[in-house]
A and B are shown apart, each in its own frame.
Chain A
Amino acid sequence: GESVGLHLPTLSVQEGDNSIINCAYSNSASDYFIWYKQESGKGPQFIIDIRSNMDKRQGQRVTVLLNKTVKHLSLQIAATQPGDSAVYFCAENRHGGDYKLSFGAGTTVTVRA
């Protein structure tokens, strides 16, 4: 399943399939990007981050892609599991400048058994 191109607020994906969540960021000066997962009643949980000197970074079952030209970020989840059901947020920051992290609108991922 994929929220193609522009951000979509919801994504339904079959268990075992790959998920792709897209995010557009706003500040061209941002150089640090983070994906967070938020489950109901809990705080955002760090998934993976990437700095602007990279265009791809892989973690365990997750890959983040960064396209600075179009200010676009994506999160790929391989072999999506029921435990992946949550709201996913991308966030941006600017190194050495603002002491805040700005969140984009979340994408609610629902995994179908």
Chain B
Amino acid sequence: AAGVIQSPRHLIKEKRETATLKCYPIPRHDTVYWYQQGPGQDPQFLISFYEKMQSDKGSIPDRFSAQQFSDYHSELNMSSLELGDSALYFCASSRDRGSSPLHFGNGTRLTVT
């Protein structure tokens, strides 16, 4: 079965640079979510989209933005990167506006040096 695809798997950036993370949800899933997971931490919700419209916002810094495109893939754009942005970034998708299980990709590991 198709899963959530994220790219790249690993990304190394320097402070103050920008990064773009991509997510391809499971076909026919209507909701996409982004989570950030620091070392030893639980995943923290950043932002979600339902049918290409932003639907909820969590602890996402103003330096980050995201969008969902007409083909339902989503991108998380991160600017003015800081050392503290180093983390695993997960994308997830679900059907039925989140009242079905979220299915997660294997994440992008971002390292800011």
Contact A93 B56 (CB under 8 A): no
Q: How far is the CA of A41 from the CA of B90 in the complex (A)?
A: 11
Considering only residues 71-113 of chain A, those with a C-beta below 8 Å from chain B are 89, 91, 93, 95-96, 98-106
- Beyond A43-B107, A99-B50, is A104–B42 a contact (Cβ under 8 Å)? yes
Beyond the given A99-B97, A100-B56, please list 13 additional residue pairs across the A-B interface where CB-CB is below 8 A.
Answer: A34-B101, A42-B106, A42-B107, A43-B92, A43-B107, A44-B90, A91-B102, A96-B99, A99-B56, A100-B33, A101-B33, A101-B45, A104-B42
Task: Please name 27 pairs of A and B residues whose Cβ atoms are closer than 8 Å in the assembled complex, sorted by A.
Answer: A34-B101, A42-B107, A43-B90, A43-B92, A43-B105, A43-B106, A43-B107, A44-B92, A44-B104, A46-B103, A49-B101, A89-B42, A89-B43, A93-B98, A96-B97, A96-B99, A98-B56, A98-B98, A99-B31, A99-B33, A99-B48, A99-B98, A100-B48, A100-B56, A100-B58, A103-B43, A103-B44
Binding site for A on B (CB under 8 A): 4, 31, 33, 42-45, 48, 50, 55-56, 58, 90, 92, 97-99, 101-107
